Structure 1
Amino acid sequence: MNDPILFTERLILRPPVAEDFEAWAAFHAEPETMRFLGGVQTRSVAWRGLCAMAGAWSIRGFAMFSLIERHTGQWIGRVGPWQPDGWPGREVGWGVARAFAGRGYAHEAACAAMDYAVDVLGWDHVIHTIDPENEASIQLARRLGSRNEGPASLPAPLETFRVDAWGQSAGDWRARKQS
């Protein structure tokens, strides 16, 4: 399988590579960014996370994309399909580095990732696991057309995190795009 590369107006979405690590580690060290993403991580934990994400591309055939700003080539976040073992559903998740938040990048990338999940992976339902206090992600989920489907349970070691599954069917996603 060739690794997919998605292009939007301002972004490139591609599988993670080793050269992403410095920006990946900085992202995972940002307290505000990581507040709802499991907490700040050391470089060694961030490294294992990058390798797990890259490995999921080989094992599952999908994982989150590295999010690259087209005009600078800078790594700015991770967005895309995600379903580790024990996950409550097939998720399109997102995280944008704090320096790039508020520019609409998460929405732009999430739309491309939703298209990929539905049209390429053939998912019939997509969720987003969101902490009930994460207003920014709730707003994005609503903007994507997702609805709160209720509390969800994450697998260990994340089982103590409170999350709701926001989601929609592939049919709802397609219908929303056509209107």
Structure 2
Amino acid sequence: MFITIRPYSEDTVLVFALIGAAGLVLLLLSLVVGEILDLGDGALSGTSLGIGAVVFGAVGAITTVNGMDAWIAYAGSALVGLVAVVVAQLMIRRLSATEDNARVDLVGVQGTAMTDITQSSGEVSLDAVSELERRLAWSLEPITVGTRVVVLEHQPNSVRVGPYRPDA
């Protein structure tokens, strides 16, 4: 079986380009604004549909420009686009099930005072894997910048810390 290679149709390429561009717009809106399209109670998201449309358009344009028949371009694009949607949706589900939604207890975690810490203000950098940024902190006793600290109490917006005393 041989595949006939012919000059491509500009109309077919335009269709794929428009579908790909619409997918890119949907993808960007879903990433910037939030999920604007959510079908089947999370079964299909705007992000995954946007990815699928971008892949559909790209594969279709590539196959068409390379002289493949239109039916091969559409069938191949649909197949690869569908695979992209499924893979994207699986990744989205996996990411949404990560620790972002889980409550992490930081009591006992050590860190370093990044600013002077008082009863009303301060910042710490904690040594926990889940802590990528500085966290607001306060203490019953003054703590100077650079002091090793330990979390004594974890609240939603801040942590209460005290100086880390390895002997205690």
Structure richer in strand, relative to its length? 1
TM over 0.5: no
| Higher CA-based Rg | 2
Bin for the TM-score computed over the shorter chain: under 0.3
